[in-house]
């Protein structure tokens, strides 16, 4: 880095001092905190995004969002050139610069890192960053801080894409770097055309019963509702009603949205008795999570939840069916059959019943810690990798080699047996790969795939829900003095630090039939999360309460008595 560059960073960073006492970590999905303390962090991440762009000689993305967190929080994360999350190798540097106490120290850290990573400022391309934000009121001023960060790197360009869902920004970064069409309109066109294509391949045009035609979507009072409105206009055949779009005056993520619905298992605001029998879905604040539900007829505040595990199961079932159709080819095609490796990735939050179901289907199921960054990486090892967290965050990844094979197979079948069942299966898989976001979990593309598969199978939400019965579960959060005091292993199922707490959890778990429980530090909020499941709801509740008490005794403020 030359002196001119150093003094530019020094000058601009002195405009964004780190507030006293602030210590941030890149966490599960970027930096998150109360928006009022985030300007310096977002400014620094602007520089980080530019450095990442220089290092990779590709475009990167910067998204300002705190997703499911409360409206007064905000956050910032980077999309790598692939469209996925920032490479984990750069996270320690992200933490270091975010917490750097003085402008001088900050410049020194950057200078050392630039040398270590051999980042060239005289490369063929200068840095280019796509900037996006969700609907949070603090987004506008934080975006300004991000731009100032980007412009602190000589020659860097920040392109303001306005208000977007997080998955849209990731999709655009991936598409631009692949020289594909990459505007927001292109995103909507790709989703809507591949959805229509998939629906046209529904066998015998199975029709759903009348009540099943309608879908009501809870937009979490965030960005997802307004984007779905746009998409809806391009899907003329679908009857979608959007509630909690943010226009009605509700508060982002407050009593609404996928996180609330999945964790509390109650109806979001704006849903009532008259919705019984109708298929409903909830997005989260930045539309990267999706869950479905139906309102219970005997208790209108309760719902039957169809969570990320069931979305995963529906997708896995469909993909497996298409692969089986492909295998039914005649002898003359045997040589050309491709043994596609299909894998499924879950976390410790996956309901035990879902894992049993997926294994009974004959699928390979693997586990990673919480956080899409881990699941995505694992899923990318397969020809078709399906990953979902129970909270509704996930997608399906297709390998390049499998897509090449599918395209070649389609060409061949077009000349030999056009319109055959095999060709339809090939076309369905190709349509899924175009519909479902290949960069990151995306509630809008996930929703369209669910809808297309339900139509294909002629299923109601009740048929879908009956795939298996969830073991009753409960999730709680406990405020603790320092969440980083908890260190876990084995995909977060075992606590290795502090000592003795795992033994105490084991004693509690042993008291309940089909009991399972774990604790882990949240990567997005200042809490420890507790998960418990057991054979009946009362047992799951009681196990979760006992484990939460242990967490409080070992790590908290001792409020549990």
Choices 213-221, 354-362, 442-450, 521-529; region in contact with ligand G16 by CB under 6 A:
521-529
- The DSSP code for 73 is E
What CA–CA distance (Å, rounded) separates 227 from 242? Answer: 10
Tokens of 214: 């309608």
Q: Which of 485, 479, 517 is nearest to 498 (CA)?
A: 485
Choosing from 46, 158, 371, 472, the residue that interacts with ligand G16 (CB under 6 A) is 371
H helix intervals, 458-533: 461-465, 501-509
Query: 5: helix, coil or strand?
Result: helix
Query: 130: helix, coil or strand?
Result: strand
46's enclosing H/E stretch is helix 39-56
Choices 144-152, 219-227, 284-292, 329-337; region in contact with ligand G16 by CB under 6 A:
284-292
List binding-site positions: 67, 284, 286, 288, 389-391, 520-524, 529
Q: Minimum distance from CB of 393 to ligand G16 (Å)? A: 5
Question: Considering the rule CB under 6 A, would residue 473 count as an interface residue with ligand G16?
Answer: no
Quick note: the x/- pattern for ligand G16 over 39-68, rule CB under 6 A, is: ----------------------------xx
Alpha-carbon distances, residue 548 vs 364, 474, 544 (angstroms): 32, 11, 6
What CA–CA distance (Å, rounded) separates 78 from 84? Answer: 9
Partnered with residue 130 across adjacent β-strands are: 61, 159
Question: Considering the rule CB under 6 A, would residue 409 count as an interface residue with ligand G16?
Answer: no
Question: Considering the rule CB under 6 A, would residue 522 count as an interface residue with ligand G16?
Answer: yes
What CA–CA distance (Å, rounded) separates 201 from 221? Answer: 34
What CA–CA distance (Å, rounded) separates 352 from 514? Answer: 9
Choices 3-11, 44-52, 385-393, 507-515; region in contact with ligand G16 by CB under 6 A:
385-393
474's enclosing H/E stretch is strand 473-479
Choices 335-343, 442-450, 516-524, 553-561; region in contact with ligand G16 by CB under 6 A:
516-524
What CA–CA distance (Å, rounded) separates 144 from 497? Answer: 40
Choosing from 60, 245, 282, 524, the residue that interacts with ligand G16 (CB under 6 A) is 524
H helix intervals, 288-371: 308-327, 352-360
Select 41 or 100, whichever has its Cβ closest to ligand G16.
41
Q: Minimum distance from CB of 522 to ligand G16 (Å)? A: 3
Question: Considering the rule CB under 6 A, would residue 383 count as an interface residue with ligand G16?
Answer: no
Select 243 or 289, whichever has its Cβ closest to ligand G16.
289
Q: Minimum distance from CB of 392 to ligand G16 (Å)? A: 8
Q: Which of 139, 51, 176, 64 is nearest to 439 (CA)?
A: 176
Residues 6+ apart with CB under 8 A from 444: 165, 167, 191, 224, 227, 228, 231, 283, 287
Is 67 among the catalytic positions? Answer: yes
Choices 261-269, 311-319, 320-328, 519-527; region in contact with ligand G16 by CB under 6 A:
519-527
Select 220 or 323, whichever has its Cβ closest to ligand G16.
220
Choosing from 80, 212, 389, 470, the residue that interacts with ligand G16 (CB under 6 A) is 389
Q: Minimum distance from CB of 377 to ligand G16 (Å)? A: 12
Q: Minimum distance from CB of 68 to ligand G16 (Å)? A: 4
H helix intervals, 120-222: 139-150, 166-177, 184-200
Contact (CB, 8 A) for 544 and 560? no
Quick note: the x/- pattern for ligand G16 over 64-93, rule CB under 6 A, is: ---xx-------------------------
Q: Minimum distance from CB of 160 to ligand G16 (Å)? A: 21
Q: Which of 278, 203, 218, 216 is nearest to 252 (CA)?
A: 218
# residues contacting ligand G16 (CB under 6 A): 18
Q: Active site residue: 12, 13, 40, 67, which one?
A: 67
Site for ligand G16 in 243-262 (CB under 6 A): none
List binding-site positions for substrate: 389-391, 520-524, 529
Choosing from 44, 133, 529, 549, the residue that interacts with ligand G16 (CB under 6 A) is 529
Choosing from 13, 100, 370, 395, the residue that interacts with ligand G16 (CB under 6 A) is 370
Choosing from 523, 531, 540, 549, the residue that interacts with ligand G16 (CB under 6 A) is 523
Choosing from 29, 54, 107, 172, the residue that interacts with ligand G16 (CB under 6 A) is 29
What CA–CA distance (Å, rounded) separates 274 from 214? Answer: 13
Q: Please give the positions annotated as active site.
A: 67
Residues making contact with ligand G16 (CB under 6 A): 28-29, 67-68, 284, 288-289, 370-372, 389, 391, 393, 522-525, 529
């Amino acid at each position: 880095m030359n002196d001119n560059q150093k003094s530019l960073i020094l000058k601009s960073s002195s405009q964004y001092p780190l507030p006293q006492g602030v210590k941030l970590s890149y966490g599960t999905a970027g930096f998150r905190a109360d928006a009022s303390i985030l300007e310096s962090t977002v400014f620094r991440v602007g520089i980080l995004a530019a450095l990442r762009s220089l290092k990779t000689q590709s475009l990167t993305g910067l998204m300002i969002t705190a997703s499911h967190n409360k409206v007064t929080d905000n956050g910032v994360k980077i999309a790598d050139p692939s469209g996925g999350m920032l490479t984990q190798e750069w996270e320690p540097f992200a933490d270091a610069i975010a917490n750097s106490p003085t402008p001088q120290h900050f410049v020194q850290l950057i200078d050392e890192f630039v040398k270590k990573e051999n980042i060239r400022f005289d490369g063929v391309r200068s840095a280019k960053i796509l900037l996006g934000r969700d609907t949070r009121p603090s987004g506008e001023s934080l975006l300004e801080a991000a731009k100032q960060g980007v412009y602190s790197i000589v020659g860097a360009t920040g392109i303001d894409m306005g208000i977007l869902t997080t998955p849209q920004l990731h999709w655009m970064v991936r598409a631009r770097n692949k020289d594909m069409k990459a505007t927001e309109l292109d995103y909507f066109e790709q989703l809507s055309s591949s959805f229509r294509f998939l629906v046209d391949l529904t066998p015998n045009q199975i029709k759903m019963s009348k009540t099943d035609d309608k879908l009501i979507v809870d937009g979490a009072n965030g960005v997802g509702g307004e984007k779905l409105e746009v998409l809806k206009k391009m899907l003329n055949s679908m009857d979608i009603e959007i509630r909690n779009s943010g226009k009605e005056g509700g508060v982002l993520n407050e009593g609404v949205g996928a996180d609330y619905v999945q964790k509390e298992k109650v109806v979001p605001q704006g849903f009532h008795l008259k919705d019984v029998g109708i298929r409903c879905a909830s997005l989260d604040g930045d539309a990267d999570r999706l869950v479905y539900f139906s309102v219970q007829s005997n208790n209108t505040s309760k719902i039957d939840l169809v969570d990320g595990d069931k979305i995963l199961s529906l997708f896995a079932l469909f993909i497996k069916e298409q692969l089986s159709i492909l295998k039914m080819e005649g002898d003359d095609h045997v040589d050309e059959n491709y043994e596609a490796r299909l894998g499924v990735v879950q976390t410790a939050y996956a309901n035990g019943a879902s894992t049993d179901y997926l294994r009974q289907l004959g699928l390979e199921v693997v586990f990673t810690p919480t956080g899409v960054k881990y699941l995505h990486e694992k899923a990318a090892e397969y020809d078709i990798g399906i990953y979902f967290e129970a909270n509704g965050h996930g997608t399906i990844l297709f390998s390049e080699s499998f897509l090449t094979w599918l395209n070649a197979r389609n060409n061949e079948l077009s000349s030999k047996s056009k319109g055959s069942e095999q060709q339809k299966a090939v076309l369905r898989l190709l349509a899924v790969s175009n519909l479902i976001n290949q960069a990151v979990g995306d509630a809008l593309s996930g929703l369209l795939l669910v809808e297309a598969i339900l139509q294909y199978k002629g299923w109601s939400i009740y048929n879908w829900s009956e795939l298996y019965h969830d073991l009753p579960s409960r999730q709680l959060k406990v405020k603790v003095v320092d969440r980083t005091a908890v260190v876990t292993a084995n995909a977060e199922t075992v606590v290795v630090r502090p000592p003795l707490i795992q033994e105490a959890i084991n004693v509690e778990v042993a008291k309940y039939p089909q009991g399972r429980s774990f604790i882990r530090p949240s990567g997005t909020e200042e809490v420890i999360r507790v998960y418990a499941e057991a054979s009946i709801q009362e047992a799951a509740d009681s196990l979760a309460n006992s484990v939460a008490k242990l967490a409080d005794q070992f790590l908290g403020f001792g409020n549990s008595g």
